[in-house]
Amino acid sequence: MIADPPVFQLFNEIGIINQLSTKIFESALPKGMTTAQFTVLNHFVRLGIDEKSPAELASAFQITRPTMTSTLTRMARAGLVSIRADPNDGRAKLVSLTDTGREMRESCIAASAVFFPLLGSFISDAEVAEILPTLIRLRVKLDSMRDAKAVTLD
Amino acid sequence: MIADPPVFQLFNEIGIINQLSTKIFESALPKGMTTAQFTVLNHFVRLGIDEKSPAELASAFQITRPTMTSTLTRMARAGLVSIRADPNDGRAKLVSLTDTGREMRESCIAASAVFFPLLGSFISDAEVAEILPTLIRLRVKLDSMRDAKAVTLD
DNA sequence: CTACTATAATTAGATATCTAATTATATAGT
DNA sequence: ACTATATAATTAGATATCTAATTATAGTAG
């Protein structure tokens, strides 16, 4: 019974929460905007970043580079980011926000503000504070495993 | 700063955990098998189900019906499930496991057994027991929101 | 300077997932 | 019985995500 162990149940709940919360959040965003794209916009503004390579962005969000290429292509097509060749490295590129991207981020934040009171009623700050450290520990361990290539058990 | 509130950090961690755990689990599965497909196989065996409609399966896993159609199509192509018309309802179909499907589930379980000791070292049963109830409550509330269509705030 | 290796980005091909629209069958109401 | 509504499944079209393979540029070693 693989789904019976508590750990599996935990991953199951986490999967569903992820799916539902992502969709609910996106339902408030402007038409066409996605969580993945918003995350990129927000990253630049929050951290006050000017330019960053696709590889660095992929690493920051813990997704693969092809995935980031894919998202950035769509964002550039929508005029949200601008991408130029890195003058110091012929292989690399540099991504930056456009004014449109900055405005879009503002719109997303304004639109999603609707959810704050709602989410507060779903889970209290105290509860979040109670479970977050454990989840972070788990995430860090899972992440360290990712680099360990295959699962070797002797 | 939308990503700053604790709740957002929580969803962020949950998203990463979901992504990592899914990939790690799949890395142990036979080539081509996915978590989504394993979940279907396991559902039938664990609950001792003989036949179930795509709609019921979609509902059980909280995914949309087109998504389930898509997964079942691939599973049928791989010979893991068999699908027949529902004799009592001309609109519906009935899905059941094939012997191949049952064997595949066994293989998956055997293969994933590797992870048990590993996961146990990542998060203890006590920790799981501590955070699971809160996550379940959150999931239930998010789920109830899904039917509430749009977020109406007056 | 040449050859090997490492890194950046992309392309190719696949799965999972969603929303919106379509097709077919049931069910209910008049 | 006929019409209107509801439900089952699918198709169409899109995004996010992955792995494997490709292309181009850097860096290192001899």
pLDDT of residue B150: 41
> Closest partner residue to A24 among B18, B119, B142, by Cβ?
B142
What number of other Cβ atoms are within 10 A of residue B30's Cβ?
11
- Given a cut of 50, the residues of chain B with pLDDT beneath it are 1-3, 149-154
Q: CB–CB of B93/B79 below 8 Å?
A: no
**Residue A60, min C-alpha distance to chain B (Å):** 11
State if pTM tops 0.75: yes
Q: Which residues pair with A85 in a beta bridge?
A: A93
Report the nearest residue to nucleotide D15, CA vs C1': A34
Verify whether the Cβ–Cβ distance B17 to A14 is below 8 Å.
yes
End-to-end CA distance of chain B: 24
pLDDT of residue A153: 34
pLDDT digits (tens, 9 = 90+) for B125-139: 999 999 999 999 998
pLDDT of residue B65: 98
- CB under 8 Å, gap of 24 or more: what pairs does A113-116 form? A114/A28, A114/B151, A114/B153, A115/A24, A115/A25, A115/A28, A115/B151, A116/B5
Per-residue HEC secondary structure of A14-56 comes to HHHHHHHHHHHHHHHCCCCCCHHHHHHHHHHHHCCCCCECHHH
pLDDT of residue B36: 96
DSSP code at position A3: T
pLDDT of residue B145: 74
Cα separation values, B25 from B16, B29, B102, B150, Å:
14, 7, 19, 35
Mean pLDDT (10-residue bins), chain A, 154 residues: 68 88 89 95 95 97 96 98 97 98 95 82 91 92 66 36
pLDDT of residue A2: 40
Burial environment of residue B35 by CB neighbours within 10 A (0 to 12, 13 to 18, 19 or more): middle
pLDDT of residue B68: 98
Verify whether the Cβ–Cβ distance B135 to A134 is below 8 Å.
no
